[in-house]
């Protein structure tokens, strides 16, 4: 069965804007600006933003927090009728968490050429060998999502140059 999207373009943009709001929360505390939300029946039931440096925990990705909050909200590890929006293409850990939680649809903003596993390096979310496959769509407000990241890294480089710190 071919999976189709539950949303029209305006709805996709609306929810990605909510993920971008999350990314900006990360940016505000000097974390790499990546944000994610989980949607259930049109309502946002999980939110998260990258917190790796503050938590000093390698698993502190935006998507993980959004999935964990969504599981708490619906009191189930199965997010079968949920959609996830994330500003950057998910890494293997987060793609794997989406498979485990059986997220129905995954939307991302900017592609990640270095580690994206929702279509760029590979697509774990549609791999027939796993026991769950999701509908996957990238390039949702990709420019806004990507600009957040490039500006963030540009500022870090400028700061390092100013203080003479090695990159």
Binding positions for Zn(2+) are: 61, 91, 94
Residue 11, phi then psi, degrees to nearest 5? -70, -45
Cβ distance to its own copies smaller for residue 36 or 141: 36
Q: Please, what is the minimum distance in Å from the beta carbon of residue 106 to its own copies? A: 14
Q: Which of residues 50-69 bind its own copies (CB under 8 A)?
A: 52-53, 55-61, 64, 67-68
Cβ distance to its own copies smaller for residue 14 or 52: 52
DSSP string, 62-80: HHHHHHHHHHHHHTSS--T
Q: Please, what is the minimum distance in Å from the beta carbon of residue 14 to its own copies? A: 26
CB atoms < 10 A from the CB of 79, how many? 26
CB atoms < 10 A from the CB of 119, how many? 20
Rounded Cα–Cα distance for residues 16 and 33 (Å): 14
Measure the N-to-C terminal CA separation of the chain; round to a whole number of Å: 48
The answer to whether the CB of 134 falls within 8 A of the CB of 3 is: yes
Tracing tokens 């390039």 back to the chain, one arrives at 139
Q: Please, what is the minimum distance in Å from the beta carbon of residue 22 to its own copies? A: 18
Catalytic: 167? Answer: no
Q: Determine which residue in the list 14, 40, 130, 135 makes contact with its own copies, applying CB under 8 A.
A: 130
Rounded Cα–Cα distance for residues 49 and 35 (Å): 4
Site string for its own copies, 108-127 (x = CB under 8 A): ------xx-x---xx-x--x
The answer to whether the CB of 50 falls within 8 A of the CB of 32 is: yes
Residue of 22, 27, 31, 63 marked active site: 63
**Residues at the annotated binding site?**
61, 91, 94
Site string for its own copies, 66-105 (x = CB under 8 A): -xx--xx--xxxxx-----------xxxxxxx-xxxx---
What is the Rg, in whole angstroms, of the alpha carbon atoms belonging to the chain? 16
Residues near its own copies (CB under 8 A): 52-53, 55-61, 64, 67-68, 71-72, 75-79, 91-97, 99-102, 114-115, 117, 121-122, 124, 127, 129-131
């Amino acid at each position: 069965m071919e999976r189709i999207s539950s949303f029209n373009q305006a709805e996709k943009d609306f929810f990605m804007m909510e993920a971008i709001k999350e990314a900006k929360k990360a940016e505000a505390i000097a974390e790499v600006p990546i944000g994610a939300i989980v949607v259930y029946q049109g309502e946002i039931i999980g939110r998260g933003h990258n917190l790796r440096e503050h938590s000093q925990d390698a698993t502190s990705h935006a998507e993980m927090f959004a999935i964990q909050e969504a599981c708490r909200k619906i009191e189930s590890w199965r997010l079968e009728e949920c959609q996830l929006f994330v500003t950057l293409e998910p890494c293997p850990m987060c793609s794997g968490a989406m498979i485990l939680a059986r997220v129905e649809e995954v939307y991302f903003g900017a592609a990640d050429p270095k580690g994206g596993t929702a279509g760029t390096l590979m697509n774990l979310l549609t791999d027939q060998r796993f026991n769950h496959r999701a509908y996957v769509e990238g390039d949702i407000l990709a420019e806004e999502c990507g600009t957040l990241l490039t500006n963030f890294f540009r500022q870090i480089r400028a700061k390092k140059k100013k203080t003479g710190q090695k990159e």
